[in-house]
Amino acid sequence: MNSKLFGELIEKRRKALGMKQVDLALVAGTGVRFISDLENGKESCELGKAFKVLENLGIELAIKLRDKR
Q: How confident is the model at residue 57 (pLDDT cuts 50, 70, 90)?
A: very high
Helix, strand, coil content of the chain in percent (nearest 5): 60, 0, 40
Tally of CB atoms within 10 A around 21: 19
> What is the per-residue pLDDT for 6?
96
Which pLDDT tens digit goes with each residue over 28-39?
Answer: 999 999 999 999
What mean pLDDT is predicted for residues 32-61? 97
In a domain, residue 63? The reply is no
> What is the per-residue pLDDT for 66?
87
Q: How confident is the model at residue 20 (pLDDT cuts 50, 70, 90)?
A: very high
In a domain, residue 40? The reply is yes
Total tally of structural domains belonging to the chain: 1
In a domain, residue 65? The reply is no
Q: For the domain that residue 46 is a member of, what is the CATH number?
A: 1.10.260.40
pLDDT: which is higher, 46 or 66: 46
In a domain, residue 22? The reply is yes
